[in-house]
Structure 1
Amino acid sequence: MNSQYKPLDFDHLVALAQTKPQVLERYLRLKVNQIINAAKPENRIHLRRLQFRIDAVRYRAKTPLAACIKISQMMHDELWCLKEVLDGSRDSVNHPGPANTSVTDNSKRSADKVIPLSRTGRFKA
């Protein structure tokens, strides 16, 4: 059936969610699998693991809103981890060791604007 590969518009998705949620779920699974299969082979395992975690959160949540909040918290935790990695790499540039003496003087750099992130706690699925 060729129609299952055509993207659906928002109104059609809303109608499916209200009348046939199981059909919408199958359609979303199909699209997720298409995206994962189109990814680079070295990224597919990571994407499948991530989708497994998302599915587990959705399955365990009592309501769709609760699932959305938990998945959002999971995304914020990953963003926080990325921030920590980036801050660590910035520290290594600001405080070079004896082997890295060719780093430019930070006083000549323009001041960067850093957006502070607050951490409320690690995600627990």
Structure 2
Amino acid sequence: MNASALPNFDRLLDLARNSPEELERLRLEMTNQILDSTPDQGVRLRLEQLAFRIDAERRRGRTPLSLCLHYSNLMHRQLGVLNQELHKLLQPVVLPCQTGDNHNQPARTSAKIIPFSRYQKPA
């Protein structure tokens, strides 16, 4: 079976029912293919850690439905973390001078703004 393309659902269901060893071989093959095609070592390390965690959860002997719910909860927690980080990035930066805390801040000075259209190069 070609590891570069995921078989359709009916084929995967057939493998799960009739040939779980073949399904496991396909899973490992596709996991290794993804890891091998990841050029960034930091990303690859995180993917290897995730694959290890998934394998450890599978070895705990849970039922398939229980594993599905567990993985779904893990993904939702990670999405929550990513969502929080995204919101942090999207928050406006508040400078100390904007909060009214002007302690140890240099005094503001005014500046004359000269439009480029009126700017003359010195001779």
Shorter-normalised TM range: 0.5 to 0.7
**Matched-pair contact (CA < 8 Å) for 1:13–1:24:** yes
- The residue that corresponds to 2:52 in the other structure is 52
Percent of pairs with identical residues:
34
Q: Measure the CA separation in 2 of the matches of 1:49 and 1:12.
A: 28
Q: Measure the CA separation in 2 of the matches of 1:60 and 1:39.
A: 28
- The residue that corresponds to 2:95 in the other structure is 97
Q: Measure the CA separation in 1 of the matches of 2:12 and 2:83.
A: 35
5+ long unaligned stretches in structure 1: 101-125
SS at match of 1:96: coil
Q: Structure 1 residue 87 and structure 2 residue 87: aligned?
A: yes
Q: 1:45 offset after TM fit, Å?
A: 0.7
Aligned length: 96
More helix by share: 1
* Gap change, CA 1:6 and 1:71, over 3 Å in 2: closer
5+ long unaligned stretches in structure 2: 99-123
Larger Rg: 1 or 2?
2
* RMSD of aligned residue pairs (Cα, Å): 2.2
- The residue that corresponds to 2:31 in the other structure is 32
- How high is the TM-score relative to the length of structure 2? 0.66
- How high is the TM-score relative to the length of structure 1? 0.65
